[in-house]
Amino acid sequence: MSKTDWRIGIAGLGTVGAGLLEFLAEKPGFSPTGGQAVVTGVSARSRTRPRPFDIAGLPWFDDPVELAKTPDNDIFVELIGGSDGPAKAAVEAALNAGKPVVTANKALLAHHGAELARLAETKGVPLLFEAAVMGGVPAVKIMREGLVGDDIRSVAGILNGTCNYILTEMEATGRAFADVLADAQRLGYAEADPTMDVGGFDAAHKITLLAALAFGCAPNFAAAEIEGIDQIDLMDIRLAKDLGYRVKLVASAERSADGVLVRVHPSLAPLDHPLAQAGGALNALFIEGQRIGRIFVQGPGAGAGPTAAAVAADIADVMTRSVRPVFQRPAADLKPFTPVDPSKSMGRAYLRFMVKDEPGVIAAVSETLAEAGVSIESFLQKPVEKADGVPIVLTTHAVAESVLMAAIERIANLSSVLARPRLLRIARI
């Protein structure tokens, strides 16, 4: 091969790996450098598993670490997944061998990004992960390259297509969470064990990486506040819509003088807001900078084609021999951000109380909120069929979370309240 040609080793032959093999077979000369990208080794859990493509002509490695170390490839592509185990071992082996690494593994980087960045920069090779966040939407390149001339204040959006699909279908069909999740699993939108998605952890991995890029810090997944959509009730989707909102799983990272607040929560977005209008499996992201103001990007967050295209874009960057810090500044200078105490965060909220249908209940709830220092913005009382009790729904003006939580505890103890009050934050976007 000429020096403009690159030999690619691919570990992981699932949806994305299949898409990448198909792409490279069709367009090996896709890179602007004019060189060829040629697959010279593959690895996966099973060699005999039925696949929609033929791997018989490709060198097979039972151990991805051996594929990472072999001198027969120049770039190692890790599509195995998982924060530890074979994925981590293979990436470390490739970097130690002085090989560029392209990965789609957000969990690996959210947990071990700082140490892997130090290893990559010590060896003088790139560690690229465009496909780890928002699939085919170039969110990582926007943050790492396009916005280096700005000071980013916040990033927030919809980063998990599975959750977005489930919430969209619940609203559209009127079916409960469990029913829609089962359909999502049958259609391949959700895994057999959906915890990583519906528990909010996948979105938390992604916003952890975006925060590191936005603020030039080490990924700090442990500091993320995480709540998934598995407790979302169809009642809240309907009542929120009556108030002019739509429920979305929103991941956000915001920098202030006190530090950085990273969180994933089901949140309410106004019906005319771009996040509320991003339906199905779409991803969407707002970025706010000191100089650019706010920008918005939206697109497919998963799938063979979009994600493989993101991996290919990173391969092309390696082929141009471009090397830059993994997380916006030299790894030796990376430090975890200072987490902000969420209880001090100010924001608006949606509250639902299931109460007995008796006189004085509304007054008791209102007085308790007022005494705690929570100001009501809007109010709705609407009977719901087959519900135990009557829902009282309201939205608040901006209030510190510590104040709001104290008020909720007091209301939960009222004799007229039948169930734990439901809190949903209103997105600050």
Residue pair 219/209 in contact (Cβ under 8 Å)? The answer is yes
Quote the mean pLDDT of the chain: 93
Residue 3 in this model has a pLDDT that exceeds 70 = no
CATH architecture of 6-136+308-333: 3-Layer(aba) Sandwich (3.40)
Residue 311 in this model has a pLDDT that exceeds 80 = yes
Compute the average pLDDT of residues 328-337.
Answer: 88
Instruction: Please say if 206 is a catalytic residue.
Output: yes
- Over the stretch 213-227, which tens digit does the pLDDT of each residue have? 999 999 999 999 999
- Integer CA distances (angstroms), 181 to 161, 188, 249, in order: 13, 10, 15
Compute the average pLDDT of residues 87-111.
Answer: 97
Residue 369 in this model has a pLDDT that exceeds 80 = yes
Compute the average pLDDT of residues 97-116.
Answer: 97
The SS3 call for residue 250 is strand
Which of the 8 DSSP states describes residue 165?
H
Please tell me the distance from the alpha carbon of residue 139 to that of residue 284, in angstroms, as a whole number. 10
**The residue to which tokens 């092309």 are assigned:** 316
- Domain ranges (residues) in the chain: 6-136+308-333, 139-300, 343-426
State the catalytic residue, choosing from 106, 206, 356, 386. 206
DSSP secondary structure of 384-425: -TT-SSEEEEEEE-SEEHHHHHHHHHHHHTSTTB-SPPEEEE
- Over the stretch 17-47, which tens digit does the pLDDT of each residue have? 999 999 999 999 999 888 899 999 999 998 8
Residue pair 97/91 in contact (Cβ under 8 Å)? The answer is no
Backbone angles phi, psi at 309, to 5 degrees: -65, -40
- Over the stretch 240-282, which tens digit does the pLDDT of each residue have? 999 999 999 999 999 998 899 999 999 999 999 999 999 998 9
- Over the stretch 45-77, which tens digit does the pLDDT of each residue have? 988 888 878 888 899 999 999 999 999 999 999
Compute the average pLDDT of residues 185-206.
Answer: 90
* CA angle at 392 for the pair 388 and 393, rounded to the nearest 5°: 125
**According to the model, what pLDDT value does residue 1 have?**
41
**The residue to which tokens 């700090």 are assigned:** 220
Which of the 8 DSSP states describes residue 363?
H
The SS3 call for residue 353 is strand
Percent above pLDDT 70 for the chain: 99
**According to the model, what pLDDT value does residue 265 have?**
97
> Sign of dihedral through CA atoms 267, 272, 274, 279?
positive
Q: Which CATH class is domain 343-426?
A: alpha beta
Superfamily assignment of 139-300 in CATH? Dihydrodipicolinate Reductase; domain 2 (3.30.360.10)
Residue 164 in this model has a pLDDT that exceeds 70 = yes
Residue 339 in this model has a pLDDT that exceeds 50 = yes
**According to the model, what pLDDT value does residue 255 have?**
93
Backbone angles phi, psi at 368, to 5 degrees: -65, -45
